[in-house]
Amino acid sequence: MSEHPSTPTKAKPKKKAKVADKAASKGMKSENKVETPPADPRPAEAASKAAPAFESLTGDQRDMLEKLSANLARAALTAQGAIAEAALRQAERPAALQPDPFHVAPALTDVMGRLASQPDRMVRAQADLFQQYLELWQSAARRAGGEAVEPVVRPDKGDKRFNDPDWAENPVFDVIKQSYLLTSNWLNSLVSQVQDVDPIAKRRVEFFMKMLTDAFSPSNFLVSNPAALREAMQTQGASLLKGMENFADDLTRGGGQLAISQTDYQMFKIGENVATAPGKVVFQNEVLQLLQFNPTTEQVHEIPLLIFPPWINKFYILDLRPENSMIRWLADQGFTVFVASWVNPDVEMAAKTFEDYMLEGIYAATDAVMAQAGVDRVNTVGYCIGGTLLSSTLAHMAAKNDKRIASATFFAAQQDFAEAGDLLLFTNDDWLSDLEKQMDAAGGVLSGQAMAETFNSLRANDLIWSFFVNNYLMGKEPKPFDLLFWNSDQTRMPKALHMFYLRKFYGENALSKGELVLDNVKLDLGAVKTPVYVQSSKEDHIAPARSVYRGARLFGGPVTFTLAGSGHIAGVINAPVANKYQHWTNTDLPASVEQWMEGASETAGSWWPHWATWLREKSGGLVPARDPANGKFKPIEDAPGSYVKVKS
């Protein structure tokens, strides 16, 4: 489909006349039963006044007006039809309709009650807001008089909502923008400064107040978005028609729920232009396929590397493109690389537990790697939730005196959840109870779409509203972007596994307290003497650096902590060739990450070389490169395997 649909043909006056005649004849037939009120002369008067104005237009102007009117009408009908169909689908599952799905109302009541008990503070806050508006009005008046003035308030650095020049150059839109920023900043600040309330309740209200103020941004509405208005006029409304078609397509794709497209999903094929590193599937069971990738050097380090990515996402974040593929880069450094490709579970796996993922995942995969490579030890990596599982398994192995893991590296992984990211806000008892009911209704799994919506809400401006504006208000197709293709390729979650994870880690923080029991073993991270490398990212909103650092200090052996620039994904997947961001290192591990930063050294570029140096020291001498086809196991299929291709 083209970016803008072909211009619709002109409406035919004769057809309209026939419709009007039919309506009139029906009205005449009903005159005997119902008395017809006298006609209102105002529409006729308005039409008679408008007729000369329309007649005065040139042919091109009339044509443009007709096209605009026709496209607006078709856009409205498309939107109405899509909404009606979605409403019918939602009516079939009324249990999903919750007025307060995240149970923010009790927390909001606490915070607002506290504010109400401090009337003097509210008066000061309102006076402050009024003063800021007074400054804005004065600034607007001075600008109208031709004076150059500085804005009263500016968008935060990195806020892309107001990038269009008209937000600054057009006085009307500039005032709209600044009015919104003043009000939203005031509301968010008002909540953040509340004292003497439960910290989690306050944080929940802060989060949802930010969501609310983001939703009401003038950039999200057609009449107050200069770029969308300009596009609508330049295309005679075709952009709005296309936008409503995109809206209808997304509702259909989401089964009646809005699943906003973030990229052109047809542009990417797993195994063809993403996840293309050559290798073999050498082992599989119910929970994972084990991939061994082809070597790119004649010799490799003796001890192989086994990576456990998060099972919430697919493994190919490590292998999006050749130039930013961590898998390819590690192979080039002389490491034998194995990766766990987790299953995308269906309802038959609803009872799979966290313990099952430990035994059938990490234990089984390390057994297979040692057999395939002919070694008695492996180096491991755990990314995000995969790292939480790996650290739990290390504590289990320590209790069993199992020393198969020579070293462990953690990418953005948490062990102590006391200061976990915004996902902590989604784990109160009421929300978990609703989530459990939702999973029961789906046969014991949580859909990938539900997972995607949760993660998207953590960065709503970037992952929701920017696409809302682009796709629906501007009528454009989202650009092809491999990272967003991967981001949307979520997996389902088995109920037993997922509820255990949310309750035991986010809810109870049991691992850090030494209270977590797996396979009848109480886990103690202090008993883990394995050398550990911990990577964190400065702007990570899912696994904040402070939280990751707390976990790093729980291990009983040598720990190397590194802080990278950027966030949860870009901070990890940062190939050296890109020459982006920076990282900080410090051989000490003081009480807090702030103290650690005081003694840290900053280095430009990727942290990968620093890690590779550390990893080489744990990987033994060099041996002939290992061909995946010539190991103990007969290859099952080519990488990336079949598990990764299962869609939710």
Closest to 500 (Cα-Cα) out of 350, 400, 286, 285: 350
Assess whether 30 carries a catalytic annotation: no
Asked whether residue 20 is assigned to any structural domain, the reply reads no
Express each pLDDT in 520-533 by its tens digit.
999 999 999 999 99
What integer is the mean pLDDT of 117-130? Answer: 90
pLDDT score for 196: 86
In this predicted structure, the answer to whether residue 647 has a pLDDT above a threshold of 80 is yes
CATH of the domain at 348: 3.40.50.1820
d(CA 311, CA 497): 11
pLDDT score for 18: 39
Please tell me whether residues 237 and 114 are part of one structural domain. Answer: yes
Please tell me whether residues 335 and 226 are part of one structural domain. Answer: no
Please tell me whether residues 483 and 611 are part of one structural domain. Answer: no
pLDDT score for 9: 39
pLDDT score for 23: 38
Answer with the residue of higher pLDDT: 55 or 509.
509
Domain boundaries, position 146: 105-256
Do residues 532 and 557 touch, judged by C-beta distance below 8 A? yes
Please tell me whether residues 507 and 372 are part of one structural domain. Answer: yes
Alpha carbon dihedral 74, 78, 84, 90, in 10-degree steps, equals: -170
Answer with the residue of higher pLDDT: 255 or 603.
603
**At 388, is the pLDDT very low, low, confident or very high (cuts 50, 70, 90)?**
very high
Best mean pLDDT range from 54-68, 131-145, 422-436 = 131-145
**Burial zone of 541 (CB within 10 Å; 0-12 exposed, 13-18 middle, 19+ buried):** middle
Q: 510 Cβ partners below 8 Å, 6+ apart?
A: 504, 516
How far is CA 632 from its chain centroid? 40
Which of 221, 256, 291 is a domain's end point? Answer: 256
In this predicted structure, the answer to whether residue 34 has a pLDDT above a threshold of 70 is no
Please tell me whether residues 312 and 401 are part of one structural domain. Answer: yes
What integer is the mean pLDDT of 182-198? Answer: 91
Please tell me whether residues 113 and 156 are part of one structural domain. Answer: yes
Please tell me whether residues 214 and 338 are part of one structural domain. Answer: no
Answer with the residue of higher pLDDT: 258 or 244.
244
Closest to 583 (Cα-Cα) out of 615, 558, 610: 610
**At 70, is the pLDDT very low, low, confident or very high (cuts 50, 70, 90)?**
confident
Q: How many other C-beta atoms can be found within 10 angstroms of the C-beta atom of residue 609? A: 14
pLDDT score for 12: 40
Please tell me whether residues 235 and 117 are part of one structural domain. Answer: yes
Average pLDDT, the chain: 89
Please tell me whether residues 126 and 158 are part of one structural domain. Answer: yes
Which of 201, 224, 256 is a domain's end point? Answer: 256
Number of domains in the chain: 3
**At 428, is the pLDDT very low, low, confident or very high (cuts 50, 70, 90)?**
confident
Indicate the pairing of strand 337-342 with strand 305-308.
parallel
How far is CA 609 from its chain centroid? 28
Please tell me whether residues 330 and 473 are part of one structural domain. Answer: no
Closest to 449 (Cα-Cα) out of 541, 353, 312: 312
Q: How far is CA 344 from CA 453, 642, 645, 647, in A?
A: 18, 10, 9, 7
Best mean pLDDT range from 197-211, 456-470, 535-549 = 535-549
What integer is the mean pLDDT of 627-641? Answer: 97
**Burial zone of 32 (CB within 10 Å; 0-12 exposed, 13-18 middle, 19+ buried):** exposed
What integer is the mean pLDDT of 308-335? Answer: 97
d(CA 531, CA 553): 12
Asked whether residue 29 is assigned to any structural domain, the reply reads no
pLDDT score for 53: 57
**At 320, is the pLDDT very low, low, confident or very high (cuts 50, 70, 90)?**
very high
Which of 256, 287, 318 is a domain's end point? Answer: 256
Asked whether residue 9 is assigned to any structural domain, the reply reads no
Asked whether residue 610 is assigned to any structural domain, the reply reads yes
What integer is the mean pLDDT of 79-100? Answer: 66
d(CA 184, CA 13): 49
d(CA 236, CA 117): 54
d(CA 385, CA 493): 12
What integer is the mean pLDDT of 248-254? Answer: 89
Please tell me whether residues 355 and 444 are part of one structural domain. Answer: no
- Tell whether the torsion through CA atoms of 567, 569, 572 and 576 is positive or negative: negative
What integer is the mean pLDDT of 232-260? Answer: 91
**Burial zone of 25 (CB within 10 Å; 0-12 exposed, 13-18 middle, 19+ buried):** exposed
Asked whether residue 53 is assigned to any structural domain, the reply reads no
**At 20, is the pLDDT very low, low, confident or very high (cuts 50, 70, 90)?**
very low
SS3 category, 105: helix
Which of 200-204, 386-390, 531-535, 572-576 shows the lowest mean pLDDT across its residues?
A: 200-204
Asked whether residue 59 is assigned to any structural domain, the reply reads no
Which of 84-88, 146-150, 336-340, 538-542 shows the lowest mean pLDDT across its residues?
A: 84-88
d(CA 261, CA 251): 10
Location of structure tokens 């929970």: 287
Asked whether residue 12 is assigned to any structural domain, the reply reads no
Indicate the pairing of strand 378-383 with strand 405-411.
parallel
Location of structure tokens 């130039």: 323
pLDDT score for 6: 37
pLDDT score for 15: 39
Tokens of 482: 């491999």
Answer with the residue of higher pLDDT: 17 or 217.
217
Catalytic residue among 232, 303, 317, 384: 384
The DSSP result for 232-260, as a single string, is HHHTTTHHHHHHHHHHHHHHHHTTTS---
pLDDT score for 170: 95
Please tell me whether residues 298 and 249 are part of one structural domain. Answer: no
Asked whether residue 265 is assigned to any structural domain, the reply reads no
Whole-number percent of the chain with pLDDT over 90: 71
d(CA 32, CA 21): 18
What integer is the mean pLDDT of 606-629? Answer: 98
Indicate the pairing of strand 622-624 with strand 299-301.
antiparallel
Residues in the chain: 648
